[in-house]
Structure 1
Protein backbone atom coordinates (compact mmCIF):
# COMPACT_ATOMS: atom_id res chain seq x y z
CA UNK A 1 0.00 0.00 0.00
CA UNK A 2 1.37 3.40 -0.97
CA UNK A 3 1.50 6.31 1.44
CA UNK A 4 -0.28 9.47 0.32
CA UNK A 5 1.99 12.25 -0.84
CA UNK A 6 1.51 15.80 0.30
CA UNK A 7 1.71 18.14 -2.63
CA UNK A 8 2.34 21.86 -2.45
CA UNK A 9 0.96 24.27 -5.04
CA UNK A 10 3.51 25.08 -7.75
CA UNK A 11 6.23 23.21 -5.87
CA UNK A 12 6.25 25.66 -2.95
CA UNK A 13 8.27 24.45 -0.02
CA UNK A 14 6.81 24.19 3.42
CA UNK A 15 7.89 27.25 5.45
CA UNK A 16 7.70 25.62 8.88
CA UNK A 17 9.29 22.24 9.57
CA UNK A 18 7.08 19.44 10.86
CA UNK A 19 6.61 19.78 14.63
CA UNK A 20 7.48 22.81 16.69
CA UNK A 21 10.65 24.55 15.67
CA UNK A 22 10.61 26.46 18.97
CA UNK A 23 8.74 26.65 22.25
CA UNK A 24 4.97 26.94 21.62
CA UNK A 25 4.62 29.47 24.44
CA UNK A 26 6.92 31.80 22.52
CA UNK A 27 4.34 31.74 19.71
CA UNK A 28 1.67 33.00 22.13
CA UNK A 29 4.02 35.68 23.50
CA UNK A 30 4.76 36.88 19.96
CA UNK A 31 1.05 37.00 19.18
CA UNK A 32 0.36 38.94 22.39
CA UNK A 33 3.16 41.41 21.57
CA UNK A 34 1.84 41.90 18.05
CA UNK A 35 -1.71 42.45 19.33
CA UNK A 36 -0.45 44.91 21.96
CA UNK A 37 1.48 46.78 19.28
CA UNK A 38 -1.58 46.92 17.05
CA UNK A 39 -3.78 48.13 19.89
CA UNK A 40 -1.16 50.68 20.94
CA UNK A 41 -0.88 52.07 17.40
CA UNK A 42 -4.68 52.25 17.09
CA UNK A 43 -5.40 53.78 20.51
CA UNK A 44 -2.28 55.91 20.57
CA UNK A 45 -0.23 54.35 23.35
CA UNK A 46 -3.03 54.07 25.92
CA UNK A 47 -2.92 50.25 26.00
CA UNK A 48 -2.33 48.76 29.46
CA UNK A 49 1.01 47.10 30.07
CA UNK A 50 0.70 43.35 30.62
CA UNK A 51 3.07 41.95 33.23
CA UNK A 52 4.62 38.53 32.73
CA UNK A 53 5.49 35.95 35.40
CA UNK A 54 9.06 34.67 35.85
CA UNK A 55 9.80 30.96 36.31
CA UNK A 56 9.99 29.90 39.96
CA UNK A 57 10.54 26.95 42.30
CA UNK A 58 8.94 26.85 45.75
CA UNK A 59 10.23 24.42 48.37
CA UNK A 60 9.10 23.83 51.95
CA UNK A 61 11.16 22.64 54.88
CA UNK A 62 10.15 22.20 58.53
CA UNK A 63 10.99 25.81 59.37
CA UNK A 64 10.62 27.85 56.14
CA UNK A 65 9.41 28.23 52.56
CA UNK A 66 12.04 29.02 49.94
CA UNK A 67 11.16 30.70 46.64
CA UNK A 68 13.68 30.81 43.78
CA UNK A 69 12.83 33.11 40.85
CA UNK A 70 14.76 33.18 37.59
CA UNK A 71 15.58 36.81 36.80
CA UNK A 72 18.64 36.85 34.53
CA UNK A 73 20.14 40.29 33.99
CA UNK A 74 17.90 41.95 36.58
CA UNK A 75 19.46 44.22 39.20
CA UNK A 76 18.24 43.95 42.78
CA UNK A 77 17.31 47.67 42.65
CA UNK A 78 14.73 46.85 39.95
CA UNK A 79 12.89 44.28 42.13
CA UNK A 80 10.33 44.93 44.88
CA UNK A 81 9.20 42.27 47.38
CA UNK A 82 6.11 42.67 49.54
CA UNK A 83 4.58 40.27 52.04
CA UNK A 84 1.23 40.69 53.72
CA UNK A 85 -0.56 37.92 55.55
CA UNK A 86 -0.25 34.77 53.48
CA UNK A 87 0.65 36.47 50.20
CA UNK A 88 4.11 37.14 48.77
CA UNK A 89 4.33 39.51 45.78
CA UNK A 90 7.47 40.11 43.74
CA UNK A 91 7.33 42.85 41.10
CA UNK A 92 9.93 44.52 38.96
CA UNK A 93 11.06 45.39 35.50
CA UNK A 94 13.59 44.17 32.98
CA UNK A 95 14.64 47.23 31.05
CA UNK A 96 15.24 47.14 27.31
CA UNK A 97 18.93 47.54 26.47
CA UNK A 98 20.00 50.35 24.21
CA UNK A 99 21.51 48.80 21.13
CA UNK A 100 23.54 50.00 18.21
CA UNK A 101 22.30 48.80 14.85
CA UNK A 102 19.08 47.04 13.96
CA UNK A 103 17.63 44.35 16.24
CA UNK A 104 16.77 41.50 13.88
CA UNK A 105 15.28 39.07 16.40
CA UNK A 106 14.53 39.12 20.09
CA UNK A 107 13.14 36.35 22.29
CA UNK A 108 14.23 37.80 25.62
CA UNK A 109 11.56 39.12 27.93
CA UNK A 110 11.51 42.79 28.83
CA UNK A 111 9.09 45.01 30.68
CA UNK A 112 7.23 44.62 33.96
CA UNK A 113 6.93 41.27 35.70
CA UNK A 114 4.88 40.10 38.67
CA UNK A 115 5.01 36.89 40.73
CA UNK A 116 2.33 36.17 43.34
CA UNK A 117 2.38 33.30 45.80
CA UNK A 118 -0.20 32.38 48.43
CA UNK A 119 1.60 30.65 51.27
CA UNK A 120 -0.18 27.96 53.28
CA UNK A 121 0.04 28.21 57.05
CA UNK A 122 1.35 30.96 59.26
CA UNK A 123 4.57 32.75 58.28
CA UNK A 124 6.80 35.25 60.06
CA UNK A 125 6.82 38.22 57.65
CA UNK A 126 9.27 40.18 59.86
CA UNK A 127 12.05 37.65 59.26
CA UNK A 128 11.79 37.23 55.46
CA UNK A 129 15.18 37.44 53.70
CA UNK A 130 16.07 37.81 50.02
CA UNK A 131 19.32 37.20 48.16
CA UNK A 132 20.17 37.73 44.47
CA UNK A 133 22.96 35.62 42.97
CA UNK A 134 23.71 34.58 39.37
CA UNK A 135 20.32 35.76 38.08
CA UNK A 136 18.35 33.83 40.70
CA UNK A 137 16.41 35.65 43.42
CA UNK A 138 16.09 33.46 46.52
CA UNK A 139 13.48 34.47 49.09
CA UNK A 140 13.33 32.65 52.43
CA UNK A 141 10.04 32.94 54.30
CA UNK A 142 10.32 31.51 57.84
CA UNK A 143 7.31 29.77 59.31
CA UNK A 144 5.78 31.22 62.46
CA UNK A 145 6.50 29.39 65.71
CA UNK A 146 2.88 28.21 65.80
CA UNK A 147 3.20 26.52 62.40
CA UNK A 148 6.45 24.65 63.11
CA UNK A 149 6.13 20.98 64.05
CA UNK A 150 6.89 20.37 67.71
CA UNK A 151 8.03 17.13 69.31
CA UNK A 152 5.99 16.22 72.40
CA UNK A 153 7.81 14.17 75.00
CA UNK A 154 5.80 11.41 76.65
CA UNK A 155 6.32 10.97 80.38
CA UNK A 156 5.91 7.57 81.97
CA UNK A 157 3.95 7.24 85.16
CA UNK A 158 3.72 4.26 87.49
CA UNK A 159 0.50 2.37 88.22
CA UNK A 160 -0.56 4.77 91.00
CA UNK A 161 -0.54 7.70 88.58
CA UNK A 162 2.66 9.24 90.01
CA UNK A 163 5.37 10.34 87.68
CA UNK A 164 8.39 8.17 87.79
CA UNK A 165 11.97 8.87 86.82
Structure 2
Protein backbone atom coordinates (compact mmCIF):
# COMPACT_ATOMS: atom_id res chain seq x y z
CA UNK A 1 0.00 0.00 0.00
CA UNK A 2 2.95 2.32 -0.62
CA UNK A 3 4.74 2.68 2.72
CA UNK A 4 1.82 1.63 4.91
CA UNK A 5 1.42 -1.92 6.27
CA UNK A 6 -0.24 -3.72 9.17
CA UNK A 7 1.55 -5.62 11.91
CA UNK A 8 0.42 -8.92 13.49
CA UNK A 9 -2.13 -7.14 15.72
CA UNK A 10 -3.64 -5.28 12.77
CA UNK A 11 -2.06 -1.96 13.76
CA UNK A 12 -1.11 0.40 10.94
CA UNK A 13 2.66 0.65 10.48
CA UNK A 14 4.13 3.49 8.43
CA UNK A 15 7.45 3.18 6.59
CA UNK A 16 10.29 5.55 7.48
CA UNK A 17 9.73 7.29 4.14
CA UNK A 18 6.07 7.99 4.97
CA UNK A 19 7.01 9.13 8.49
CA UNK A 20 9.56 11.63 7.12
CA UNK A 21 6.89 13.15 4.85
CA UNK A 22 4.18 13.20 7.54
CA UNK A 23 3.30 16.55 9.17
CA UNK A 24 4.59 16.95 12.74
CA UNK A 25 2.60 18.76 15.44
CA UNK A 26 5.70 20.25 17.08
CA UNK A 27 6.49 21.99 13.77
CA UNK A 28 2.98 23.26 13.02
CA UNK A 29 2.30 26.03 15.48
CA UNK A 30 -1.23 27.06 16.36
CA UNK A 31 -3.95 25.66 14.09
CA UNK A 32 -7.11 27.43 13.02
CA UNK A 33 -10.28 26.40 11.16
CA UNK A 34 -8.56 27.25 7.88
CA UNK A 35 -5.99 24.51 8.62
CA UNK A 36 -8.70 21.83 8.49
CA UNK A 37 -9.19 22.17 4.72
CA UNK A 38 -7.04 22.19 1.60
CA UNK A 39 -8.62 23.19 -1.71
CA UNK A 40 -12.06 22.64 -0.16
CA UNK A 41 -11.21 19.12 1.05
CA UNK A 42 -11.60 18.21 4.73
CA UNK A 43 -8.19 17.17 6.11
CA UNK A 44 -9.16 17.11 9.81
CA UNK A 45 -8.72 13.29 9.84
CA UNK A 46 -5.18 13.48 8.43
CA UNK A 47 -2.74 11.51 10.60
CA UNK A 48 0.14 13.57 11.99
CA UNK A 49 3.04 12.80 14.30
CA UNK A 50 2.84 14.42 17.72
CA UNK A 51 6.63 14.88 17.83
CA UNK A 52 9.48 13.85 15.55
CA UNK A 53 11.31 10.76 16.76
CA UNK A 54 8.23 9.14 18.31
CA UNK A 55 5.70 6.86 16.62
CA UNK A 56 2.82 8.63 18.34
CA UNK A 57 0.02 9.82 16.07
CA UNK A 58 -3.13 11.90 16.25
CA UNK A 59 -5.34 13.56 13.71
CA UNK A 60 -5.07 17.17 12.68
CA UNK A 61 -8.60 17.67 14.09
CA UNK A 62 -7.62 16.20 17.48
CA UNK A 63 -4.63 18.55 17.69
CA UNK A 64 -6.88 21.49 16.82
CA UNK A 65 -9.32 20.51 19.62
CA UNK A 66 -6.43 20.22 22.12
CA UNK A 67 -5.18 23.68 21.13
CA UNK A 68 -8.69 25.18 21.45
CA UNK A 69 -9.07 23.73 24.97
CA UNK A 70 -5.64 25.12 25.96
CA UNK A 71 -6.46 28.58 24.54
CA UNK A 72 -9.78 28.73 26.41
CA UNK A 73 -8.25 28.31 29.87
CA UNK A 74 -6.98 31.21 31.96
CA UNK A 75 -4.61 29.34 34.27
CA UNK A 76 -2.01 27.06 32.73
CA UNK A 77 -2.78 26.31 29.07
CA UNK A 78 0.08 23.83 28.77
CA UNK A 79 -1.38 21.76 31.64
CA UNK A 80 -4.76 21.56 29.90
CA UNK A 81 -2.91 20.58 26.73
CA UNK A 82 -1.16 17.70 28.53
CA UNK A 83 -4.44 16.46 30.03
CA UNK A 84 -6.31 16.60 26.70
CA UNK A 85 -3.47 14.75 24.96
CA UNK A 86 -3.59 12.08 27.66
CA UNK A 87 -7.33 11.73 27.03
CA UNK A 88 -6.57 10.99 23.37
CA UNK A 89 -4.06 8.23 24.10
CA UNK A 90 -5.34 6.62 27.31
CA UNK A 91 -8.77 5.48 28.46
CA UNK A 92 -10.03 6.32 31.96
CA UNK A 93 -9.22 2.93 33.46
CA UNK A 94 -5.65 3.02 32.14
CA UNK A 95 -5.21 6.50 33.61
CA UNK A 96 -6.75 5.45 36.93
CA UNK A 97 -4.37 2.51 37.23
CA UNK A 98 -1.39 4.29 35.68
CA UNK A 99 1.56 6.27 36.89
CA UNK A 100 3.71 8.83 35.10
CA UNK A 101 7.09 7.14 35.36
CA UNK A 102 8.64 3.91 36.53
CA UNK A 103 10.31 5.85 39.34
CA UNK A 104 8.81 6.28 42.75
CA UNK A 105 6.75 4.02 44.95
CA UNK A 106 3.17 2.84 44.71
CA UNK A 107 1.26 0.97 47.42
CA UNK A 108 -0.61 -0.83 44.67
CA UNK A 109 1.49 -3.21 42.55
CA UNK A 110 -1.31 -3.23 39.94
CA UNK A 111 -0.41 0.35 38.97
CA UNK A 112 1.53 0.27 35.75
CA UNK A 113 3.73 2.88 34.15
CA UNK A 114 1.93 4.58 31.28
CA UNK A 115 3.29 4.04 27.76
CA UNK A 116 6.54 6.02 27.93
CA UNK A 117 6.77 6.65 24.19
CA UNK A 118 3.44 8.49 24.42
CA UNK A 119 4.47 10.37 27.58
CA UNK A 120 7.81 11.38 26.02
CA UNK A 121 6.07 12.58 22.85
CA UNK A 122 3.64 14.63 24.97
CA UNK A 123 6.64 16.14 26.80
CA UNK A 124 8.35 16.99 23.50
CA UNK A 125 5.20 18.60 22.10
CA UNK A 126 4.52 20.55 25.31
CA UNK A 127 8.11 21.83 25.51
CA UNK A 128 8.05 22.88 21.85
CA UNK A 129 4.91 24.95 22.36
CA UNK A 130 5.60 26.39 25.82
CA UNK A 131 8.83 28.04 26.87
CA UNK A 132 9.91 27.20 30.41
CA UNK A 133 7.96 23.93 30.74
CA UNK A 134 10.22 21.07 31.75
CA UNK A 135 9.89 17.27 31.94
CA UNK A 136 9.36 17.42 35.71
CA UNK A 137 6.43 19.83 35.20
CA UNK A 138 4.78 17.47 32.72
CA UNK A 139 5.46 14.46 34.99
CA UNK A 140 3.72 16.30 37.82
CA UNK A 141 0.65 17.05 35.67
CA UNK A 142 0.53 13.44 34.44
CA UNK A 143 0.77 12.12 38.03
CA UNK A 144 -1.93 14.54 39.22
CA UNK A 145 -4.20 13.64 36.32
CA UNK A 146 -3.79 9.92 37.07
CA UNK A 147 -4.60 10.61 40.74
CA UNK A 148 -7.63 12.74 39.86
CA UNK A 149 -8.88 10.12 37.41
CA UNK A 150 -8.34 7.40 40.02
CA UNK A 151 -10.37 9.34 42.61
CA UNK A 152 -13.21 9.96 40.14
CA UNK A 153 -13.11 6.33 39.01
CA UNK A 154 -13.29 5.12 42.63
CA UNK A 155 -16.12 7.51 43.41
CA UNK A 156 -18.08 6.22 40.41
CA UNK A 157 -17.45 2.58 41.37
CA UNK A 158 -18.53 3.19 44.95
CA UNK A 159 -21.67 5.04 43.86
CA UNK A 160 -22.68 1.99 41.82
CA UNK A 161 -21.93 -0.61 44.52
CA UNK A 162 -21.97 -1.33 48.22
CA UNK A 163 -18.46 -2.82 48.03
CA UNK A 164 -15.58 -0.57 49.07
CA UNK A 165 -12.90 -0.34 46.37
CA UNK A 166 -9.28 0.75 46.63
CA UNK A 167 -7.05 1.44 43.66
TM-score (norm 2): 0.28
**Greater helix share, structure number:** 2
The structure having more radius of gyration, on CA atoms, is 1
More strand by share: 1
The TM-score, its normalising length taken from structure 1, stands at 0.28
